[in-house]
Amino acid sequence: SQTIVVSGIGVKTKKVPIHVTAGKVNRIPDIEIDTQAEELEEVQVIGKSEARRQQEQAYAISVLDIKKAYNSAAPLNKLLNNVSSVRIREEGGMGSNYNFSLNGFSGNQVKFFLDGIPMDNFGSSFNLANISANMAERVEVYKGVLPVNLGADALGGAVNIVSRKDANYLDATYSFGSFNTHKVSVNGAYTHLKTGFTVRA
């Protein structure tokens, strides 16, 4: 006699003995198999935030996740002062002029962008001291070579502010500082779902 072994993924192994007679046509009987549920080991699905993916690029970059600072009333220049290689010195109280230094470079040697657009295009009044943390999703600080999408010649590096992509939001903050200075910030965005037209203020 012989034995036929049936096995496969998702089925139970089955052994069926058959009798083979020489000189005769031998038929193999129908074989019924039973399914078997396989128990997999633990499966982990790990996702990466956009800030994490940016940090893993082939650039010297620090990414500051601004979401944790929402409603803190802190301008971006205050938050960026905590990034390594960045030094910010203010000339006075809240809202005053400041000096931004990146790896020892300052002035025109460091470029600033908002969603990849040079901030020089928005006028001198639009700067880090006047941008509320609530407006940004993250800030990318490039120390040296810049990615192609920024396309700027900056010896000392660059800062790219990535604005919030929330469909609709409205935030308001109030802060006060020395010299009896007060600051109220209201910003928001509205996106029309059908057309994709977005208004930010």
d(CA 141, CA 192): 31
Annotation: CATH topology of 50-164: Ferric Hydroxamate Uptake Protein; Chain A, domain 1 (2.170.130)
Q: What is the pTM of this model?
A: 0.59
Residues 100-133 have pLDDT tens digits of: 888 888 888 889 898 888 888 877 777 787 777 7
Asked if 188 contacts 107 with a C-beta cutoff of 8 angstroms, the reply is: no
d(CA 126, CA 101): 18
Residues 39-66 have pLDDT tens digits of: 667 777 777 776 667 666 667 888 888 8
- Phi and psi, residue 125, nearest 5°: -75, -15
User: What pLDDT is attached to residue 21?
Assistant: 77
- Written as one letter, the residue type at 160 is N
* Predicted confidence (pLDDT) at residue 137 exceeds the cutoff of 80: yes
Residues 9-39 have pLDDT tens digits of: 778 888 888 877 777 777 777 878 888 776 6
Give residue limits of the domains in the chain.
1-37, 50-164
160 vs 9, residue with greater confidence: 160
- pLDDT (mean) for 143-166: 81
